[in-house]
Structure 1
């Protein structure tokens, strides 16, 4: 069940004074192209991965944090509701979510996934590559995350999505590049780094993403992204320092500054190639004051504004 969009009203007539809750409408087939929010209310992947659960509450917490943010421009904003995973059947929930994402992309929208655990990522990837608009295109996944999430498990979870995507792409002849920015040496095993190397994945460590180095990092990333046609951007909230984003299953001991995360995310949004975006691992019960949700909402606001 999604929230009722409501909040402060500065004007009922002046669109320049509108906030998100005044612009959001339910999505309908073939509506004018816009931003389409879609929640993945699941923490089954986190549970399977031995993490702290509660991320299923993330989508509505994100909507509440978005309600009062200012509207910029005239791009339509839609709410496509949630896909849940109450029965523990994560794989089926991911397929249902993917089908809905594909439909949104094919209607010309930028889907913005509201997580939920990072198991949203494999579902978002499937939605992208199964859409008619992205069929046959060269795909990049850019993951801002303290974790590589390349675990090799017999059962999918919040730590397996990008290895699943790589294997799916290999099996279906899809050209896929995987980039992970903000990786923590102290949060990933040597096996995970070896998997990154064997799969040809690119990664930047959290210690490499200082603001003073961003020009070089963005130039290198741009060079790589010039070789793809469509980009899926995913932000795991645990890429940020624990002091900034405490409401996650596995808080970062160091993390990457929000200023750097914003620079990278907005640069990707401005490429004109962004086709899917989501925010993952928001666990509201671990952050009673809602700071993590507010930061996540700011990132969504920045990316959708830059994209539009």
Structure 2
């Protein structure tokens, strides 16, 4: 294999292990998830994006390429509450620095899943996964003949990830890349970023967000008295969109809840606060695609971050 080759890995069902209870209606994820096949009926499809290239370019802590494996192990023993099927759709692996190729391969894979009416949930990998995820949705909607779809991007993140991609494309540039792509296509750019840390984003990034009309809510805004206002603002954002793409950078969580990320948050927004908003997005009827980024097992403690990520996937996959 060449040093910078990108590969689609085989589906490894051996990761799906856990306890088996004798009582009826006691199934867990490891007992119900199936390997994806071409004849599979529509369901939730889990895809791994094994990439450290964007984080390395962004001078962050590498190790997130191992995130998809850690997520599957943490999700496997969770109780099964879905009514529809769920599938393991394998991984896209980026070797070396072949980031752009990996993102395109991910996009092609996701477009095919969406064309087959699956609901993909992608697990990174660095937040460079976002550009590949959005591109996959864009390809799918283009194939359907939509001329200028209003795709709403909802990002739970401590960072805007709006850095100038003309210097280097990395885990810090995906939404700037998407904004540029939307401008070239003549599509509206609709972006909501929730959980922003003012201390971790420069004035230039806040200015760029304002220029692009980004809906911004800082981590310090997530106080009990303001949560209903944030929910209403989010609902107004979703009403103006035809389709939703949800992306969750796990560094939005406090370091105590998610230590295993590239840049742990000094403050962050608790999972208990974020979960109801994610459920509202899930239940909107417009969510087409979701991903989680920055799960880094090399720096996790007691699998806290992997467990938090697994719970988020569990919530996103609920269909009852």
Find 2:307's aligned residue among 266, 287, 294: 294
Instruction: Using the TM superposition, give the Cα deviation of residue 272 of structure 1 relative to its aligned residue in structure 2, in angstroms.
Output: 0.7
The one-character-per-residue Cα deviations of 1:37-76 (angstroms, maximum 9, x if unpaired) are 0000001000000000000000000000000111113210
Task: Say if 1:134 and 1:230, in contact at 8 Å, map to a contact too.
Answer: no
1:280 corresponds in structure 2 to 293
2:260 corresponds in structure 1 to 247
Matches within 5 A, 1:47-62: 47-62=56-71
Task: Say if 1:45 and 1:158, in contact at 8 Å, map to a contact too.
Answer: yes
The one-character-per-residue Cα deviations of 1:85-106 (angstroms, maximum 9, x if unpaired) are 1131100000000000011111
Whole-Å separation in 2 of the counterparts to 1:68 and 1:133: 37
Whole-Å separation in 2 of the counterparts to 1:92 and 1:197: 31
Find 2:156's aligned residue among 144, 147, 169: 144
2:276 corresponds in structure 1 to 263
Instruction: Using the TM superposition, give the Cα deviation of residue 166 of structure 1 relative to its aligned residue in structure 2, in angstroms.
Output: 0.9
Whole-Å separation in 2 of the counterparts to 1:164 and 1:296: 25
2:5 corresponds in structure 1 to none
The answer to which of 69-78 and 180-189 deviates more is 69-78
Aligned residue pair count = 305
Whole-Å separation in 2 of the counterparts to 1:3 and 1:294: 19
2:223 corresponds in structure 1 to 210
Matches within 5 A, 1:72-221: 72-131=81-140, 132-133=143-144, 135-136=146-147, 137-153=149-165, 154-221=167-234
* Stretches (4+) displaced over 3 A: 132-136
Instruction: Using the TM superposition, give the Cα deviation of residue 298 of structure 1 relative to its aligned residue in structure 2, in angstroms.
Output: 0.5
Unaligned runs of 5+ in 1: none
Whole-Å separation in 1 of the counterparts to 2:36 and 2:95: 23
Whole-Å separation in 2 of the counterparts to 1:135 and 1:300: 29
The answer to which of 200-209 and 134-143 deviates more is 134-143
Whole-Å separation in 1 of the counterparts to 2:19 and 2:203: 49
Aligned-residue RMSD, C-alpha = 1.4
Is 1:8 aligned with 2:25? Answer: no
State the TM-score, normalized to the length of structure 2. 0.92
Whole-Å separation in 2 of the counterparts to 1:121 and 1:260: 23
1:45 and 1:23, CA in 2 relative to 1: closer, same or farther beyond 3 A? same
Instruction: Using the TM superposition, give the Cα deviation of residue 288 of structure 1 relative to its aligned residue in structure 2, in angstroms.
Output: 4.2
Task: Say if 1:30 and 1:107, in contact at 8 Å, map to a contact too.
Answer: no
Task: Say if 1:140 and 1:178, in contact at 8 Å, map to a contact too.
Answer: yes
State the TM-score, normalized to the length of structure 1. 0.96
Whole-Å separation in 2 of the counterparts to 1:26 and 1:3: 7
